[in-house]
Amino acid sequence: MALKPDAGICRVREQIIEDLPSGLTLQFEATEGGCRLVIAGRALPSGSREILFDAEGRVTGIGAAGVKKLHL
């Protein structure tokens, strides 16, 4: 995954966000050494997706939620 030039670090609290117009639910949770984002909803024909981030905000894995992740 590409980082924006001069990318800053942003912080997001653990939370679940339901975006009714899109039908998507975003779940942010802290993990040991990073963060996990789960994206779920009817709009995802292949099922829920999970993105893992390290403590510096870099993507370390991506895949179907609840399934072994493709680690980058």
For 14-55, how does the pLDDT look when each residue is reduced to its tens digit (9 = 90+)? 999 999 999 999 999 999 999 999 999 988 888 899 999 999
Instruction: Check whether 71 has a pLDDT greater than 90.
Output: no
Instruction: Check whether 67 has a pLDDT greater than 90.
Output: no
Identify the pLDDT of residue 14. Answer: 95
> Sheet containing 24-31: which strands, arranged edge to edge?
15-19, 24-31, 34-41, 49-54, 59-64, 70-71
**Using CA atoms, how far apart are residues 47 and 6, in angstroms rounded to an integer?**
33
